[in-house]
Amino acid sequence: MDESKFNQLAEETMAEIEEAIESSGFDIDYDNVADILTLEFPNRSRVIINKQTPLSQIWVAAKSGGYHFDFDAKTSTWCLNTNAEKELFRELSSYCSEQLGEPVELNSKS
């Protein structure tokens, strides 16, 4: 994938994550500065999401570890690079649930 296409897809996904957080109704604050989206929880823990343009990946840092997601053109989803069955929004829901201490479901519009 060329850099322009990656940037477009990654920026759309970051905006979609913000919308999912906003509409979730959970006590999760977020801030997007310089292509780094930070989710902050009441216990002051964070999930950090950023794009890695040279690798065409979205990286997520959570309490449970660091994760790299590749875009799957066939399914039009971001999938964990070590397990294509693990989709970005489902995984983010899991990371947020762990850090918030209650079940969180974040939904992609697509």
Structure tokens at 87: 């989709």
CA 26 from centre of chain:
16
Spatial contact of 59 and 47, defined as CB atoms under 8 Å apart: no
pLDDT digits (tens, 9 = 90+) for 44-67: 999 999 999 999 999 999 999 999
Q: Where are the domains of the chain?
A: 16-100
| CATH code of the domain occupying 16-100 | 3.30.920.10
pLDDT at 35: 87
Instruction: For residue 110, give every residue at least 6 positions away whose Cβ sits within 8 Å of its Cβ, in sequence order, or none.
Output: 16, 76, 77
Burial group, residue 52, by CB count within 10 angstroms (0-12, 13-18, 19+): middle
Spatial contact of 108 and 92, defined as CB atoms under 8 Å apart: no
- Single pTM value for the model: 0.92
CA 69-104-89 angle, 5° bins: 20
Spatial contact of 48 and 38, defined as CB atoms under 8 Å apart: yes
pLDDT digits (tens, 9 = 90+) for 5-31: 999 999 999 999 999 999 988 999 999
Does the structure show a pLDDT above 90 at 88?
Answer: yes
